[in-house]
């Protein structure tokens, strides 16, 4: 969790990132009309964060139906909520400890059957719900989960630690995880892409978009978006197709052509045809390999190559 008071912005900065309604409630202590809020009758499992600064505020396990027209919680996440007595001394205002945003008021001793006998009466507008990826009890200690999503070329590394969590996308599972039928591929690929990726076609040399192209970034599979090559491994082989001296680790599969003469390279995730790899041609590169890749099989993203490894 961010340190208390660590998010501070001027009114104009808040107006730039909040809707007028969010600004009125969070920054001007407004109140949404009862019974209208998005989270009044809402009981999914997850965490409610501050809409202003994303700090986690309440677990869904502390939410209860108070029948008052606003979301009610019997306690906040430890350290996430600050309390201040209203100027007229009648009510206690509750705020996000991180950005000071107005949440609502807290009431004590109303007789609700909850562990604290408190009701945090919170504007839905002040909150942003994030569904739980796993049991919320795991928020109480630090654990890491590796979630492999089949049919997506991603693995998610999710770390829960003291009520906050981070998600890291790591390299694709090296086994083929994107599988589609021919008809499904035809629906998402152009005829040219289908012919090359799925029927092992080859574009006419010298015609490809990335043949003479040396910008800094990442080349990904056009079929499944998996990152395949960094621009720092691209070189000008003069052969009429994009040439790379190595692929991203685990991203490329190799198999001998049926005639045994060449080695085909495919996307490890969706098995899409990329081209062929040739060894020992004498290019002055670290691997002395040339991945000869169809421009049609790849798409370019102008990212920093260092952000991928």
Q: State yes or no: residue 189 binds Zn ion (CB under 5 A).
A: no
3-class state of residue 150 by DSSP: coil
Closest CB to Zn ion among 54 and 114? 54
Q: Which of 66, 270, 274, 292 binds Zn ion (CB under 5 A)?
A: 270
96 binds Zn ion (CB under 5 A): yes
Residue 121 catalytic? yes
If the CB atoms of residues 111 and 208 are measured against Zn ion, the closer one turns out to be: 208
Q: Under a CB-based contact definition with an 8 Å cutoff, are residues 295 and 242 in contact?
A: yes
Is residue 103 within the footprint of Zn ion (CB under 5 A)?
A: no
Contact positions with Zn ion (CB under 5 A) in 19-48? none
Show the binding pattern over residues 106-125: x = contacts Zn ion (CB under 5 A), - = does not. --------------------
DSSP string of 34-59, one letter each residue: TT-STTTT---SEEEEETTT--EEEE
Work out whether 171 is an interface residue with Zn ion (CB under 5 A). Answer: no
Query: Looking at 53, 121, 221, 270, which residue is catalytic?
Result: 121
Q: Which of 37, 46, 52, 76 binds Zn ion (CB under 5 A)?
A: 52
For 166-216, the DSSP string reads EEEEEPPPSS------HHHHHHHS-HHHHHHHTT---PPTT-STTTT---S
Q: How many residues of this chain bind Zn ion (CB under 5 A)?
A: 16
- Minimal CA–CA distance to 102: which of 155, 30, 46? 30
Residue 223, interface with Zn ion (CB under 5 A)? Answer: yes
From 126-134, 139-147, 199-207, 223-231, give the range in contact with Zn ion by CB under 5 A. 223-231
Q: What is the 3-state secondary structure (H, E, C) of 215-232?
A: CCCEEEECCCCCEEEEHH
Q: Is there binding between residue 237 and Zn ion (CB under 5 A)?
A: no
Q: Are 214 and 231 in contact (CB under 8 A)?
A: yes
Please give the residues from 53 up to 92 whose contact with Zn ion meets the rule CB under 5 A: 53, 55
* Element at 73 (helix H, strand E): strand 72-73
**Stretch of residues binding Zn ion (CB under 5 A), selected from 119-127, 138-146, 198-206, 217-225:** 217-225
Task: Enumerate binding residues for Zn ion (CB under 5 A).
Answer: 50, 52-53, 55, 96, 98-99, 101, 221, 223-224, 226, 267, 269-270, 272
């Amino acid at each position: 969790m961010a340190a208390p008071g660590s998010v501070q912005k001027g009114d104009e900065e808040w107006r730039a990132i909040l809707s007028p309604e969010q600004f009125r409630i969070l920054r001007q202590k407004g109140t949404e009309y009862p019974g209208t809020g998005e989270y009044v009758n809402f009981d999914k499992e997850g965490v409610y964060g501050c809409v202003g600064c994303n700090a986690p505020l309440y677990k869904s396990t502390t939410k209860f139906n108070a029948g008052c027209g606003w979301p009610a919680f019997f306690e906040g996440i430890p350290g996430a909520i600050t309390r201040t007595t209203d100027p007229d001394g009648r009510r206690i205002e509750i705020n996000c400890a991180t950005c000071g945003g107005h949440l609502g008021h807290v009431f004590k001793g109303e007789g609700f059957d909850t562990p604290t006998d408190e009701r945090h009466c919170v504007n839905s507008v002040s909150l942003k719900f994030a569904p739980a990826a796993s049991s919320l009890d795991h928020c109480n200690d630090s654990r890491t989960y590796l979630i492999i999503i089949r049919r997506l070329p991603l693995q998610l590394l999710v770390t829960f630690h003291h009520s906050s969590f981070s998600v890291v996308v790591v390299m694709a599972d090296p086994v083929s995880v994107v599988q589609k039928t021919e008809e499904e591929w035809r629906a998402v690929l152009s005829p040219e892409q289908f012919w090359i990726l799925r029927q092992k076609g080859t574009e006419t040399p010298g015609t490809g978009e990335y043949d003479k192209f040396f910008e800094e970034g990442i080349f990904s599979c056009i079929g499944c978006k998996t990152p395949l090559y960094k621009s720092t491994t691209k070189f000008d082989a003069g052969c009429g197709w994009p040439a790379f001296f190595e692929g991203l680790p685990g991203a490329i599969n190799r198999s001998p052509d049926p005639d045994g003469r060449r080695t085909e390279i495919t996307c490890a995730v969706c098995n899409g045809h990329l081209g062929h790899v040739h060894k020992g041609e004498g290019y002055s590169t670290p691997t002395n390999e040339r991945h000869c890749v169809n421009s049609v099989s790849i798409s370019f993203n102008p990212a920093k190559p260092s952000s991928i490894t």
